Structures are given as structure tokens and as C-alpha cells.
Amino acid sequence: MFRYLLRRLVFVPIILLILITITFFLVRMAPGGPFSSDRELPPGVEEALTKRYNLDGSVVSQYGRYLVRLVQGDLGPSLKQKDFSVNEIISNHLPPSILLGITALLISLCAGVAAGLVSALKSNSLLDYSTMALAVIGISLPVFVFGPLLQTLFSRVFHILPVSGYRGISLHLILPAVTLGLPFAARFARLTRAGMLDILSEDFITTARSKGLTERTIVLRHALKGALLPVVSFLGPAIASITTGSLVVEKIFNIPGLGREFVESALNRDYFMIMGTVILYGTLIIICNLAVDIVYGFLDPRVGNEN
Amino acid sequence: MSYLQCIVNISFIACLCLFNVAGAMADDVPGNVPEWKAAYVPEGDVWKYTEQHLTFNNGTDPETLDPHMMTGLPEMRLAEALFEGLVTYDPSDLTPRPGVAESWDVSDDGLIYTFHLRKDAKWSDGKEVTALDFLFSWKRGLDPVNRYINLFFPIAGAKGYSEGKLTDFNEVGIHVKDPQTLEVVLHAPCPYFLDLVAFPTYYPVRVELIEKFNEKWTRQENIIGNGPFVLKEWSPREQILFEKNPYYWDRDFVKLELVTVLPISDLNTAYKLFQDDKLHWMPALPVARIEELKRNPDYYVYPMLGTYFYRFNVTKPPFDDVRVRKAFCLATDRVEICNELLKGGEQPSNHFCPPVAGYEPVEGLKHDIVAARKLLAAAGYGKDKMAFPKLEVIYNTSEGHKMIAEAISQQWKQNLGIDMGTRNMEWKVYLDNQNNLDYTISRSSWIGDYADPFTFFSIFRTDDGNNRTGWSCREYDELLDTVSVTLDRKERNRLFNELEKLLVEQECPVLPIYDYVNKGLIKESVLGWEANIRDVHPLKYIWRE
């Protein structure tokens, strides 16, 4: 297991370097630049800005200079949010995203797995159908509809939760977390249900049943671990994406998270900000996938045996 | 406007005397309050028992708080609270009013401006604001990383210095006579120069602070300003807090103690907060709900110094033919666009420059289908003649632009029998296409930088970076040269009319659609807030009751 982990870790910087290189050159190929606007810049201004932001010289030489600074931990300046560096923007906006993401993940995991289990155990009942119908709605209902709906209901009609804003761990977190978590909860429910139904038809469950074990023991001791495998493998990318924020949820609830930066940096051609978000997201995905593989080893004895 | 204002002010003062509260007022505001300012002195003392805390939505987080780096209105709205120029805008009609400068003299030839700075002008750390501060700040503003650098160019030598052709800053027309006197020499008369001096790029900044902290100088712990408010908190994308500046020279006049600025970009969310009384002013509205919002008593709408229009690419057929351009202008029904589609009070426009500073725009080409068809036939298109090529209108991705493009395209189809496609483009791609003249018709807009028609007409000079139509007209360029040295208001307006006739009646490189309006919601409890064409609402004058 340890050697396997080490081997995977060695590849991390290589994967990241490939990612950085592709992104760096790809964003430069996009039409328009960071300084173009509907108002022509006075003569000389574009050159001055280019120089100030280290965007002069060939793209290859810029790439070289970027890597040198990157190794020193400097992600460069933001070309749009002119008073902040990319490092500062990420450290300002990542914590709210992580807090919101983890809350959303916990909510969706509890709700999703519970709903999935119930509908698997009562499969083909009315309960099963209605839960799964809800799950389909959860997946297909756009966040920009669900969010304002919750806002209207809980803050404008019942006046129990705040409309928007971010105050750390507080009531402000509930509506955005539920909004962000809904599609994930729905996915978790469907994955749990499918996994559980699969496992319940396995031979070893039939054996357990014939031994006269209670249904409760069968489900919790024998079936659940295996049934959650698909959930766990989905969890890796889910964590990476949910903790890096969501543009729509952040806009609706005015949360100072990182999701906005992903989208807007690309639209603004904010070159260094794009690189920063891509590097962050890439690293997170790699780490999460690695963690999932480790957890897999504990849940599924077959994976551990190979190594 | 100013006449009306005058009457209002006089009757207001008369009321004060009648009800014998003038004495109370004198206690509140020591010294003489100029007449124009009296309207912003609260009547009675109800306001004293109201929490002087204003919350408004700025729609976005500022890109910067550095006056020399900013480009947009949301940034300028904040800068105006933190800094003060020599001259400030009158909140109602934008007339230049004393700021750091107590008064100023202009030489008869309009070339030399002498500003007399007030002695009690202070920075938020208590240091005096002197003429030298302005000299250093403007020198910094002439660094070409300032995107509004061209607003300094009326000053003698400024352009040459910024381009490096002039190395000695002493030769630039900015001279400190003594700590309280600043003399500015222009290279040519500029009737709107005072308007420029009120613009953020002319604000004073503490240069030594910038040298020390670099781009971090605008942080709450570092920034020092000279405006009516100081920055108490800047939590990016959460909120910005302003507190009254205890060192501000006119502090007794400033009523608000605390201002919260929210950066909410989802306007439906902002509207919910407004309904909950958590927000007192929102200068942008969720347009899809305009019908509902119009019925709200807090709704306001008034003209703005901006125009929405289409550019023709005149370098490529068929729009290299003026008859075709005219035909398209004549076949467009702006009234329908404004009244049936936008419904927000936008003014249908056949002109390019909205009415501003006494300027009355020309009539332009009115909706006339018969004339349009005739012109198109004369250009050789129509039945039994050349088929019109299949072309597209481009616009940057937005629901509103799409709606308008499709409606206009439908009108052309109906009126001219021409099928124009529409295509959305991501903002930067759209700009690239427009810049490289890689389009046929392109959605466009222009917002004036200062209250003078020159800010509109100058962009269509041959090869101006903002022309972006490929259009070049010698007569137009010559008229621009003449108007830029003409000081007489009447003569200027006549020349502007000539320019506009060329632009929208004879040559038509552009198709005007409507004049922008400012729309928003403001609580009745907010007083001292005035409508104006620049959407400038200095917080200094505002209070709550």
C-alpha cells in the first residue's frame, strides 16, 4: 500500500506540469487579451500595462518566467482585481468555499445515502418511486431556480433564514449549502440505491439470510460497505468540485467564494488568475482521487489484496 | 433646471425663516452655507434621531480603489467617497463646485486655471492637503498604466511627458505657486476642463504611501484619502464599509456616519434585500421584472449620458454604400424597440449624442419604410436585382442585446425583405471582432466621460481607436478640429449639430437606437440623493430620515 502510494505521488508534479503547460498556452490562444475593452486604450497604455504585468516578450519566455515564480510559490498578480495578487485572492476566497462545500457535502451525503438506502430496501414501492422521482428532480432542477425558490420561501415568506451574505458558521450558510448540495444528494441517492440493490442480490447476502441473520445486521454489517463503493468513488471528484465553489450559488447568495474566479478569470482573460484556479483545482482532484483509492482499500478487500 | 433649483432653494429658505427654525440650522452648520448647498441641509432635526447608516448595492466588487487605475462607475462611486478633487460635481446638475479648491480663476483666453486651495483641507491622517500633493498625484497619473491618462492631455505638455518626448516635468503646465495655489496651463482652451478636474483620475493620492506599499496601498490598513469618508473595511466580495472622515474639512456638513456597500451581482437577490429594508438604494435592476418594479413607489428612472447604437462596417460591401446604411437606419423602428420591448423608459433615438449641457441633438433619420426601400433599390438591391448577401449582426452575449438584435432583424425583414442573422459572442471575442473590423453590423454603446458632446463625437475621427467602423470623413475631422478650439457655447453647439448631421443623417456609419436611462430603486427615507445624467450621487450630500 505504501509503495503504491509513493508511486502515485511521484506522478503528481508531472501531471501538474502537463496541466500548467497546456493551460498556459491554451489561454493565450483565445481571442482578445486582458486589457481589451469597449473603450480603446490611449496610445502607450497597452505597452505599459503589458510590461508592468510581465506579459512582454515571447509566450515561451513568459512561460519560463512564470514557472520560475511558480516554484517560489508566487502565482502572479491578478490583471482584473488590480489591488490583489492571485495568492491573496485564493487565500481570501477558498475558505468560504471550503466551509460551504463541506457543509453542503455533509448534508447531501446524509440525505442522499439515507434516501438511497430506504428506496433500495423498499424497492419498487411507492416510497422508492417517490424518492427516486425526487432525486431526478434534484439532478435536473437548475441551481438558479432552486436557490431563489428557497430564498423566497424561507426568507421572504417565513422570515426564518437570511436572504444572502456570508458570516462564517451561521444561519447564512443553510440555504446556499442546501442549494449547492441538492444535485449531489440526488446523485448519492441514486448511486446508493443502485449499489445496494446490486449487493443485496449477491450470493453472500443470500448465505447471510439463510444463516438467519436479522435484516438489520445484513444491511449494516455486510451490505452497506460494498454498496457504498460507487458513492466513494464519486466522492473524490465531488469533494474537489464542491469545495472550489459554484458561480451560480455564490452569485445568488452573495458568498465570497472561489467559484466566481474560475469562470470570470477565463472570461476576463485574467491569465494568472486562470492559471491559479486551474492549478488549485488540478491539485485538489489529484489529492481527492488518491484519498478515494486509499479509502477503497479499506472498504473493498479485493483492492488491498492486489498490493 | 438650475432656475428651478433656485426657486426651490429660495422657497426652502423662506420656509425655514417662517417656521423659525433658522436658528437651529445655524447651530448645525456653522459658517455660511452657499445657496446651492442649502438644499442639502436637513430641515428640522428628525434626521438626528435616525440612524445615519446607508446601505447600497454596487453590483460588483471594485476592481481597484486606486483612482489612477480605475475605469468603471462602481469604482468611481467608491473613490468619490474616499477622495476629493479640486472641484466636485454638483449633485443635481453636475456644475463644478468647490472641492479642495475654495475658488478658481480662469484667464480670459481660457488657457490658465489658477486654483486656490482651502487651508483646512486635510488627509484622513490629519496632514494638510497642499498644491504639491496634486502635482505629485497628477505626475503619477501621467504614467501610461493609467487607462484614463488622456483626460490629462488638455494640460500643456502632458501628452508629451507621458509619451516620454518630454523628460522634464517642470515643462508640463502644472505649477505650484505656493502650498495653497496651483496653476494649470492648457495647450488649447478646453471648455469642459473643470469637469475633468472633478473626475477620479484628477484626485490627489498620497504618493509616498504608494511607493511604500505598492498595489497594497488601497487596503483598509494602509489607505489615506481626503474625501468625506474613510475606508473602515474592505472584505472582497462581502462588503465595504465607509465611516465619516473626522479630518474632512466639511465634516459638519456630512450627515451619514456609516455606509455599507454591497457587491451583489444577482439583482433578484438584491431586490429581495431591498424589500426587506436591508438595502436602501439599488442602482441596477433585474430587467426581466421591469413591469413589476415600475409599479414600486421607490422606482426611479431618468436620462443618462449614454447611447445604444449599431456600428456598420463601412469597409466591406454592402455597407460601404451609404444608401444601404441609410436604408437600414430608416427601416428601424426605435419606438417599437423602446415601448414594446424594453419598457424601461429608454428614449428612442435618431441622434448620436444625448441632450447634454445645453446641447440639443439633430432630428436624424426618422422611421420611413418607403424612403428606405427606394434607397435600397437605388443601391441595386431588391426584386429582379442583386440579392442581398446573407450577413449577421454581432452582439456580446446578453439576454437584452439578443432581444433587441432579433427584434431589429425582424423589422428589417418586414420592411426591407432582408434576412439578417444575429450572432452572440463572448465579450472578448466580440471586442476583437469589432476592433479588427471583422463584422458587418455590431452592437455598440458609448457612455460620455464628461458633460460635453465632444466625448461622443470625437470617437468617430478618422483612425480613432474607438471609431471601429472604418469610416473616415475629412469634413468631419476638420469640424472636430474647429470645435475643439471653439469656446463660445452657442457656436460650439452649432458645430456639434453639423457633426451630428454628418454622422446620423448624411453618412450614417452608425445606427442610433436609444438613449440610456438610469433605473433603480431608492427608499423614500434617503434624502439628498439627486438624479443626474452621469449617475453620480456623492454620499456627502445624502442623509436618512
> Would you call B163 and A32 a contact, using CB atoms and an 8 Å cutoff?
no
d(CA A124, CA B261): 54
d(CA B484, CA B454): 8
Task: Look at residue B127 in the predicted model and tell me its pLDDT.
Answer: 96
Q: What is the pLDDT of residues A205-236, one digit of tens each?
A: 888 888 888 888 888 888 888 888 889 889 88
d(CA B245, CA B124): 6
> Would you call A254 and B218 a contact, using CB atoms and an 8 Å cutoff?
no
B246 sits in the region (left: phi over 0; alpha: psi -120 to 50; else beta) called alpha
B161 to chain A, closest Cα gap in Å = 12
For the stretch A201-206, contacts whose Cβ atoms lie closer than 8 Å and that sit 24 or more positions apart, written own/partner, are A202/A226
Q: Name B425's bridge partners.
A: B396
> Would you call A256 and B238 a contact, using CB atoms and an 8 Å cutoff?
yes
Number of A–B residue contacts, CB under 8 Å: 122
Nearest C-alpha neighbor of A128 from the set A118, A137, A140, A113: A118
Quick check: B357 and B369 in contact, CB under 8 A?
Answer: no
Cα A152-A104-A190 angle, rounded to 5 deg: 100
Task: Look at residue B31 in the predicted model and tell me its pLDDT.
Answer: 57
What grid cell was written down for B17?
Answer: 425663516
Residues of chain B with Cβ-Cβ distance to A30 below 8 Å are 428-429
> Would you call A256 and B445 a contact, using CB atoms and an 8 Å cutoff?
no
Select the residue of B144, B235, B431 nearest A32 (Cβ to Cβ).
B431
> Would you call B272 and A44 a contact, using CB atoms and an 8 Å cutoff?
no
Q: What is the ipTM of this complex?
A: 0.89
Those of residues 173-212 in B touching chain A at CB distance below 8 A are none
d(CA B138, CA A209): 85
Task: Look at residue A292 in the predicted model and tell me its pLDDT.
Answer: 85
Those of residues 153-172 in B touching chain A at CB distance below 8 A are 162-163
d(CA B500, CA B507): 10
- Which of B61, B63, B396, B442 is the best substitution to test chain A (most A C-beta atoms within 10 A)? B63
pLDDT in tens, chain A (307 residues): 677 788 888 888 999 999 999 999 999 999 889 998 888 888 889 999 999 998 999 999 999 999 999 999 999 999 999 999 999 999 999 999 999 999 999 999 999 999 999 999 888 899 999 999 999 888 889 999 999 999 999 998 999 999 999 998 999 999 999 999 999 999 999 999 999 999 988 888 888 888 888 888 888 888 888 888 889 889 888 898 898 888 999 999 999 999 999 999 999 999 999 999 999 999 998 888 888 888 877 777 676 544 4
Select the residue of A82, A268, A269 nearest B69 (Cβ to Cβ).
A82
Q: Which residues contact B534 (CB under 8 A, 6 or more apart)?
A: B89, B94, B304, B305, B448, B451
Contact with chain A for residue B235, Cβ under 8 A: yes
For B383, the enclosing helix (H) or strand (E) is none
Task: Look at residue B11 in the predicted model and tell me its pLDDT.
Answer: 46
Q: What is the pLDDT of residues A42-90, one digit of tens each?
A: 888 999 999 999 899 999 999 999 999 999 999 999 999 999 999 999 9
Residues of chain A with Cβ-Cβ distance to B427 below 8 Å are 32, 267
Q: Name B46's bridge partners.
A: none
Query: Can the peptide bond before residue B318 be classed as cis, meaning omega within 30 degrees of 0?
Result: yes
B195 to chain A, closest Cα gap in Å = 19
Quick check: B115 and B216 in contact, CB under 8 A?
Answer: no
What grid cell was written down for A34?
Answer: 486582458
Residues of chain B with Cβ-Cβ distance to A45 below 8 Å are 144-147, 149
Nearest C-alpha neighbor of B337 from the set B461, B515, B541, B491: B515
> Would you call B218 and A49 a contact, using CB atoms and an 8 Å cutoff?
no
Q: How many helices (H) and strands (E) does chain A have?
A: 15, 0
> Would you call B272 and A41 a contact, using CB atoms and an 8 Å cutoff?
no
What grid cell was written down for B79?
Answer: 473613490
Nearest C-alpha neighbor of B422 from the set B406, B401, B440, B399: B406
Task: Look at residue B7 in the predicted model and tell me its pLDDT.
Answer: 45
Q: Name B243's bridge partners.
A: B230, B258
A90 to chain B, closest Cα gap in Å = 11
Task: Look at residue B28 in the predicted model and tell me its pLDDT.
Answer: 42
- Which of B76, B238, B275, B279 is the best substitution to test chain A (most A C-beta atoms within 10 A)? B238
Those of residues 259-278 in B touching chain A at CB distance below 8 A are 262-266, 268-269, 272-273, 275-276, 278
Q: Name B443's bridge partners.
A: B310
pLDDT in tens, chain B (545 residues): 444 444 444 444 444 443 433 333 334 444 578 889 999 999 888 899 999 999 999 999 999 999 999 988 999 999 999 999 999 999 998 999 999 999 999 999 999 999 999 999 999 999 999 999 999 999 999 999 999 999 999 999 999 999 999 999 999 999 999 999 999 999 999 999 999 999 999 999 999 999 999 999 999 999 999 999 999 999 999 999 999 999 999 999 999 999 999 999 999 999 999 999 999 999 999 988 999 999 999 999 999 999 999 999 999 989 999 999 999 999 999 999 999 999 988 999 999 999 998 899 999 999 999 999 999 999 999 777 888 899 999 999 998 999 999 999 999 999 999 999 999 999 999 999 999 999 999 999 999 988 899 999 999 999 899 999 999 999 999 999 999 888 889 999 999 999 999 999 999 999 999 999 999 999 999 999 999 998 999 999 999 99
B265 to chain A, closest Cα gap in Å = 6
> Would you call A83 and B265 a contact, using CB atoms and an 8 Å cutoff?
no
> Would you call A44 and B264 a contact, using CB atoms and an 8 Å cutoff?
no
Residues of chain A with Cβ-Cβ distance to B140 below 8 Å are none
B80 to chain A, closest Cα gap in Å = 18
Query: Residue B279: phi, psi to the nearest 5?
Result: -140, 135
> Would you call B429 and A81 a contact, using CB atoms and an 8 Å cutoff?
no
Those of residues 464-503 in B touching chain A at CB distance below 8 A are 464-466
Nearest C-alpha neighbor of B430 from the set A266, A36, A263: A36
CA dihedral B296, B302, B305, B307 (to 10 degrees): 70
Contact with chain A for residue B107, Cβ under 8 A: no
Exposure class string for B405-417: b at 16+ Cβ within 10 A, else e = bbbbbebbeebbe
